[in-house]
Amino acid sequence: MTDPNPPTRIARLILVTRTGEVLGQLPPFPVTTPWWQDAAPVVRAARERHGVEVTILRLLEAQLPEPPGGPVTYLAEVAGPVAASRWDGVLDEHPNRLPYARPGGPAADLAWAGAVLADQGLRRSGPAEQVRTWNLSSLWRCPVSGPTARGRSAWLKVVPVFLAHEGAMLSRLAGGPVPTLLAQDGQRMLMAELPGADLYGAALPWLVRMVPLLVSLQQVEIGRVEELLALGLPDWRAPVLTLAITEVVERSALELSPADRTTLDALVHGLPERFRRLGACGLPDSLVHGDFCPGNVRGDGTSLALLDWGDSGVGHPLLDQTAFLDRIAADAVGPVRELWSRAWRAAVPGCDPERAAGLLAPVAAARQAVVYRRFLDGIEPSEHPYHQLDPARWLVRTAALLRREQALALLP
């Protein structure tokens, strides 16, 4: 569970030029938000405290084993000479380093975005604002004006290769409740501004509007999974997911208690039979959002849009349910679960979504461990603290769900 009162984030910046020359370091300073990937408050604090304009490139070091809060060290780019104290560290190289985590990388991304805007009859009406940067995305807000502007800003998002199918998914879902894609270039995307706010902490009236949006998109994709896989979405159907769960349990063995390892070994052994019973519930494989939660829905009271399709994949559509229900108020879980079941019973007459959801709960938790292991395999070691505890954490959760399932099976 996330600490409701995390320690203050204290940022230290190691400064480099756009060509990679190390200039030194700035004294550490407090930051208003604890989340390590929030770049905007770090940029703002560096400006206010030291009079320096910086672009955050990547995490170099963190004192705590995981976010949020605590002392963190970032590599930051500056445009010219800056008064900085000596830093005796060494900047290493790593093959998994992202282009936007290198000096000059963000400038190249912004230049691409500027050219796209110009081609579409738009112009930047102010400096771009760095909102977030970490191993899963670089996010910039670009103020725009012009006769074809859809809102006051465009959003530049750059992602690693293993999430790069997001642009293709936005293109496929165009016209639906998703961000409008203005352009894509490999791992770069430029999107139109969406009205409203991200709906963290949404109450029940909002939640019951979110679920039908996802289910309607999933229904359309039934029977089209090969097309989705061709876009680069990961395969979470039974055969592939069985192998992936088996592997992540093996790789996490030393981080698990003997009891949890025994429970998980039983899960792995029983996955073929579990998937057989799941198939008998009558819900076909389709699109999976992968990180469906209220915080990945944006709305303004009249419209809603589902964000962050880089986590999407192909598999059982109810893989999205467990994580969503985990992140809403306890008194909303029952009504939302029932709404979810009604939507699928209407879409696939004769199916049994309640039985399917029960069978999937531990599988969905184990899939989260698979996803975080994939992240760790694709990012450089200095940024592992963002995710390094997550595979084992989700496997512990999986084991707990299995024990609960076993206990319920023994009830009269």
Q: What pLDDT, on the 0 to 100 scale, is given for residue 127?
A: 93
Q: How far apart are CA 232 and CA 221, in angstroms?
A: 15
Continuous segment of H or E residues that includes residue 58: strand 55-62
Measuring CA to CA, which residue among 302, 351, 319, 112 is closest to residue 214? 319
Measuring CA to CA, how many Å separate 70 from each of 54, 312, 353?
Answer: 21, 31, 43
User: Which CATH number, 3.40.640.10, 3.30.230.70, 3.90.79.10, 3.40.50.1000, labels domain 9-91?
Assistant: 3.90.79.10
Ramachandran quadrant class, 146 (left: phi over 0; alpha: psi -120 to 50; beta: rest): left
Write the burial class of residue 208 (CB in 10 Å: 0-12 exposed, 13-18 middle, 19+ buried): middle
Is 401 in contact with 365 (CB distance < 8 Å)? yes
The pLDDT mean for the chain works out to: 94
Average pLDDT in the 323-352 region?
A: 95
pLDDT of residue 195: 86
Long-range contacts of 150-154 (CB under 8 A, 24+ apart): 150/180, 150/192, 150/193, 151/192, 151/193, 151/194, 151/195, 152/193, 153/193, 154/113, 154/117, 154/122, 154/182, 154/190, 154/191, 154/192, 154/193
SS (H, E, C) 356-378: HHHHHHHHHHHHHHHHHHHHHHH
CB atoms within 10 A of CB 223: 10
At 198, list the tokens: 């991200």
CB 140 within 8 A of CB 155: yes
Backbone angles phi, psi at 59, to 5 degrees: -80, 130
Average confidence (pLDDT) over 103-116? 97
Cα 146 to Cα 351: distance, rounded to the nearest angstrom: 50
Provide the pLDDT for residue 152. 85
Give CB contacts under 8 A, 24+ apart, made by 339-342.
Answer: 339/208, 339/211, 339/212, 340/211, 340/215
The pLDDT value given to residue 411: 58
Spatial neighbors of 127 by CB under 8 A, at least 6 apart, are 143
Give per-residue pLDDT as tens, 134-157.
999 999 999 998 765 566 899 999
More confident residue, 14 or 122: 14
Residues 292-327: tens digit of each pLDDT: 999 999 998 788 999 999 999 999 999 999 889 999
pLDDT band of 2, cuts 50, 70, 90: low
Predicted pLDDT at 80: 82
- pLDDT exceeds 70 at position 1: no
Q: What is the pLDDT of residues 167-213, one digit of tens each?
A: 999 999 999 999 999 999 999 999 999 988 899 989 999 999 999 99
pLDDT at position 4: 72
Q: Is residue 373's pLDDT more than 70? A: yes
Host H or E run for residue 270:
helix 258-279
- Cross-strand partners of 181: 191
Tell me the average pLDDT across 211-228.
96
H/E stretch holding 10 reads strand 9-16
Which overall architecture, per CATH, does domain 101-192 show?
2-Layer Sandwich (3.30)
With 60 as the cut, is the pLDDT of residue 412 above it? no
Both tokens of 316, joined, read: 């059982």
Token pair recorded at residue 406? 């076993």
**Is 197 or 158 the better-scoring residue by pLDDT?**
158
Return the CATH class of domain 197-410: alpha beta
CA distances from 85 to 23, 28, 53, 139, 277 (A): 8, 11, 17, 29, 64
Average pLDDT over residues 347-375: 96
Topology agreement, domain 9-91 and domain 197-410: no
In the predicted model, is pLDDT for residue 225 greater than 90? Answer: yes
Amino acid letter for position 259 = A
Q: What is the band of 81 on the pLDDT scale with cuts at 50, 70, 90?
A: confident
For 199, the 3-state DSSP assignment is: coil
Average pLDDT over residues 72-85: 93
Given a cut of 60, is residue 282 above it in pLDDT?
A: yes
CA angle (282 as vertex; 278, 235 as ends), nearest 5: 60
**When comparing pLDDT for 409 and 293, which is higher?**
293
Sign of the dihedral defined by the CA atoms of residues 370, 7, 36, 82, in that order:
negative
| Single pTM value for the model | 0.94
Let me know: does 315 contact 220? Beta carbons within 8 Å: no
The pair of structure tokens assigned to 69 is 């809060």
**Residue that is written with structure tokens 């020359």 in the block:** 21
How do the domains of the chain map onto residue ranges?
A: 9-91, 101-192, 197-410
Cβ atoms of 353 and 344 within 8 Å: the answer is yes
Residues paired with 55 in a beta bridge: 77
